[in-house]
Structure 1
Amino acid sequence: MDDKKPVPVKGRKAMKYRAAECRNCGHPLELTDRYCSYCSQLNTTKSLQLKDFFGEFLGSIITYDSRFRYTLKDLLFKPGVITRNYVNGQRLKYANPFRFFLSVSIIYFILQGLISTFSNNNSFFNEATINNGSSVKNNGGGNDFRFGDFGIDTTGFDATRKKNIKLLDSVLKKNNVDLKENNLDSIIEAEEINIDDAEVDSLLKKINKLPFIGRGNEAPSYTLIAEEVLDTMDGLERNVERFMLYRDFYKTTKIINPVVALDSMNHRNNSYNRWAYSKNESIERIEKNPGEFVQYLLEKTPFFLFFFTPVYAFFFWLIYSKKKYTYMEHMIFIFHIFSFVFLAAIICLIPDSIILNGNDNLVFSIVLSLVGPFYFYKALRNFYQQNRLITIIKFIFLNWIFWIGATIAALLFFAVTAAMY
């Protein structure tokens, strides 16, 4: 029986392109070595061509896809087992837990953003219409007089004419507006006289030009506090007073440039004061588009969890101190738990979008509230391998620690995030 001849290797892996040492790390190699035994780079001297480049690119995707498949399957259906396998040395089988967590969390927010864009919705925050009436600017004071605040339906003025006219009459009288002096006598008579739309429009324009503003709309003003006076206050009080002064000054003068504003108030032109004054622009942006700000904060959630994990892992390290696991291995376990949460969120995006048109995360909320606690308990049990009673006690304690610690950390983290907005 003839011996089978070895299949000749073609392309960049061919024998004729092999070198005596690795071009990446310089490790000595035999000509029979296809890959470097030290750094795993392909042993070849052949110049990279277009087909080689795309071949390696596709190969890397297929390789990662295999790891991704195992990671996804075990993370979803074997809580805690994936961490135990990874810690026990099965590293090549699974994706890196830290990188995988960041990947799925970023993918989630990208998908959520795309769904929100195409559906003209934001599933986290929907800006409600403040009122069903028109918002008419008062040219005298520069603030808004909203008829809707008083129940006046200007969008359907003709349909409820008598009711609206009575309300207008009442509002003007409460604000001490002399109807005759301001040529608004027709309001009194309008209940009996069928004035047309043009006259109604003229009437509203006259009210808009009045030098009075509705409730809570006093003209902005500020009381200047000298820098020397601020310096005599305690740290917290000084900062609060400074921010309040800068806010009042900004609203009154409409000066945007911090340097000009600080010079006008005769305050020190240092980096902190410039930053404090510039926050007025951020506040204005938040007031105009709060949904955008909420989305901005939520997009920082993966980074918040990433930095919160070492803090949370400390409590795992304490209550599982008798176990052989290191502090870093506790962190791997937590990253796997957080990765599961984002995977569940990605899976629930489609039903949430179809059923609720992206208005709420109802499906995800139900899944997380029902499956989440059971998943966390099973992960603790499978990874740390303790009996049910001890696991339940530690499960309750770790949940309690998580919600308290996460709340405090989130307030600090989002406060810093808001300061940089």
Structure 2
Amino acid sequence: MSHGKLRLDNNCLNCGRIVEEKFCPNCGQENIEPKQKFHYLFTHFIEDFTHYDGQFWKTIKYLLFKPGKLTNEYLAGKRQQYVVPVKLYIFMSFITFFLFSLSSPISSPSVLDNKAAKKEAQKEIMDAIRTNDVLGNVNAGSNHLTKKDSLALIKARKIIGDSAKVNNLLEAADISKKLSEESNIYGAKTKVEFDKYQKSHPSWTNFLKRPFADKFFELKELGIPQKEILVRFLETAFHNLPKALFIYLPLFAFFLWIFHNKKKWWYFDHGIFTLHYFSYLLLIITLFWVIDKIFRPFSGVGFFQFIRRLSIFLITIYTLIYFFLAHHRVYNSGRKFSVLIGIVLFILNFFAFSFVLVCLIGLSFLMVK
């Protein structure tokens, strides 16, 4: 329920009709003053999503504890008192991935800052150590070090603070250099070798390999460290995951459509069931995140860890049977049929979603910058 100040005039600012109470009977707009206090922007945003009049909390309660009821209510035409399925899914997806982005180690600002600082320090060390081929002189023996070499090592020791670590770093630098030179894709170390290999081994899969090979050699030429590539890849994959889930929704509904009466159940009906079911899964993921954050400060206390594990175990068991309960109540099918359909759909969706994940991984790699 909005807390905006009501207008004294009873003409709707949107369509011009007479407003007898709070909302226009023609367009539904609330008859409030167009200018409000600044905090209204935020309170209105929250209210629009959560509906403090009870719509949001009633929807969440049914979504959690009454599998299938929301779908039945929506298909029966009782829609005003619940959050619209698409809006519910988008909101849950936003909340879930927003919370995970805050605590994700790959996107944490402090971690990224530390990595940037570490990378800069390593670059400075490498520049110092490689002055006048220090690596070669060190391997030949300390007596062969020139004055410039010695100064370079002193600079490196000042940066690191430990002479033993300098020696380890020398070895690591040499190894990483070899790894960079020896790294290959599809057996090719360079783009020229890859082109020759494709010409001598024609295959229908070559056009699939080409984009990945081009991206690999591009990153290799830029000299980006392998760990940095991995971090960038994980960040890209994480940002693409919500898109992959949203794209997968129609496919999940399609599998439901295949196994049910086409005259009685339309694809639209399966879509509503799918949106509610995926919203529940996102809500459970968020709940796991909350449980982890609550009990993390008590990681050394056995009792609290027992409660944490027990909570996760019970929620997991409930989630496993949630689909069967929801399917049984929505489609009015027998329990055995719901179990059979659930098993078949699990197998189909396992392979289908695995394929989507593989595509996501490939796309994420191609999008690494």
TM-score, length basis structure 1 = 0.59
Does 1:350 find its partner at 2:290?
Answer: yes
Q: CA deviation at 1:286?
A: 6.1
Match of 1:382 among 324, 329, 339: 329
State the match for 2:149 in structure 1: none
Relative to structure 1, the CA distance from residue 229 to residue 389 in structure 2 (aligned partners, 3 Å threshold; closer, same or farther) is closer
Match of 1:61 among 33, 47, 55: 47
- Tell me which amino acid in the other structure corresponds to 2:230: P
Aligned ranges 1:335-346 → 2 under 5 Å: 335-346=275-286
State the match for 1:98 in structure 2: 86
State the match for 1:303 in structure 2: 243
- C-alpha distance in structure 2 between counterparts of 1:225 and 1:411, whole Å: 26
State the match for 1:50 in structure 2: 36
Match of 1:404 among 346, 351, 366: 351
Q: CA deviation at 1:417?
A: 3.5
State the match for 2:205 in structure 1: 236
State the match for 2:192 in structure 1: 224
State the match for 1:371 in structure 2: 318
Aligned ranges 1:65-76 → 2 under 5 Å: 65=52, 66-76=54-64
Whether the 8 Å CA contact 2:237–2:360 is kept in 1: the answer is no
Specify the SS of the correspondent of 1:50.
coil
- Out of 31-40 and 296-305, give the one that drifted further: 31-40
Specify the SS of the correspondent of 2:77.
coil
Specify the SS of the correspondent of 2:140.
coil
Match of 2:24 among 29, 36, 40: 36
- Tell me which amino acid in the other structure corresponds to 1:64: H
Relative to structure 1, the CA distance from residue 48 to residue 184 in structure 2 (aligned partners, 3 Å threshold; closer, same or farther) is closer
State the match for 2:10 in structure 1: 18
Does 1:290 find its partner at 2:230?
Answer: yes
Runs (5+) with no aligned partner, structure 2: 116-121, 144-156, 183-188, 300-307
Relative to structure 1, the CA distance from residue 237 to residue 308 in structure 2 (aligned partners, 3 Å threshold; closer, same or farther) is same
Whether the 8 Å CA contact 1:102–1:302 is kept in 2: the answer is no
- C-alpha distance in structure 2 between counterparts of 1:416 and 1:310, whole Å: 20
Whether the 8 Å CA contact 1:352–1:363 is kept in 2: the answer is no
Q: CA deviation at 1:290?
A: 2.8
State the match for 1:182 in structure 2: 140
Aligned ranges 1:274-289 → 2 under 5 Å: 284=224, 287-288=227-228
Runs (5+) with no aligned partner, structure 1: 1-10, 128-133, 146-176, 186-196, 257-280
Relative to structure 1, the CA distance from residue 301 to residue 226 in structure 2 (aligned partners, 3 Å threshold; closer, same or farther) is closer
Q: CA deviation at 1:30?
A: 4.8
- C-alpha distance in structure 1 between counterparts of 2:286 and 2:193, whole Å: 52
TM-score, length basis structure 2 = 0.66
- C-alpha distance in structure 1 between counterparts of 2:288 and 2:174, whole Å: 51
Q: Deviations over 1:134-186 (max 9, x none)?
A: 9x96849x9xx9xxxxxxxxxxxxxxxxxxxxxxxxxxxxxxx9x9x93479x
Q: CA deviation at 1:241?
A: 6.1
Q: CA deviation at 1:308?
A: 0.6
- C-alpha distance in structure 2 between counterparts of 1:417 and 1:42, whole Å: 44
Does 1:109 find its partner at 2:101?
Answer: no
Q: CA deviation at 1:31?
A: 6.6
Q: CA deviation at 1:91?
A: 0.9
- C-alpha distance in structure 2 between counterparts of 1:291 and 1:299, whole Å: 13
Q: CA deviation at 1:330?
A: 0.7
State the match for 2:186 in structure 1: none
Match of 2:260 among 315, 320, 328: 320
RMSD of equivalent CA atoms: 5.0
Specify the SS of the correspondent of 1:37.
coil
If each structure's helix is expressed as a fraction of its own residues, which one has the higher value?
A: 2
Q: Deviations over 1:350-399 (max 9, x none)?
A: 3323445699x977863554121211111111111111111111111111
Identity %, equivalent residues: 21
Relative to structure 1, the CA distance from residue 291 to residue 351 in structure 2 (aligned partners, 3 Å threshold; closer, same or farther) is farther
- Tell me which amino acid in the other structure corresponds to 1:24: N
Whether the 8 Å CA contact 2:277–2:323 is kept in 1: the answer is yes
Specify the SS of the correspondent of 1:104.
helix
Whether the 8 Å CA contact 2:23–2:30 is kept in 1: the answer is yes
Specify the SS of the correspondent of 1:98.
helix
Whether the 8 Å CA contact 1:67–1:93 is kept in 2: the answer is yes
- Out of 304-313 and 222-231, give the one that drifted further: 222-231
State the match for 1:420 in structure 2: 367
Whether the 8 Å CA contact 1:313–1:331 is kept in 2: the answer is yes
Relative to structure 1, the CA distance from residue 365 to residue 296 in structure 2 (aligned partners, 3 Å threshold; closer, same or farther) is farther
- C-alpha distance in structure 1 between counterparts of 2:168 and 2:35, whole Å: 77
State how many pairs are aligned. 315
Whether the 8 Å CA contact 2:288–2:312 is kept in 1: the answer is no
Specify the SS of the correspondent of 1:418.
helix
Q: Deviations over 1:8-62 (max 9, x none)?
A: xxx7443xx223xx44245xx4574653322112458xx6343599399559828
- Tell me which amino acid in the other structure corresponds to 1:54: Y
- C-alpha distance in structure 1 between counterparts of 2:311 and 2:279, whole Å: 14
Whether the 8 Å CA contact 1:80–1:378 is kept in 2: the answer is yes
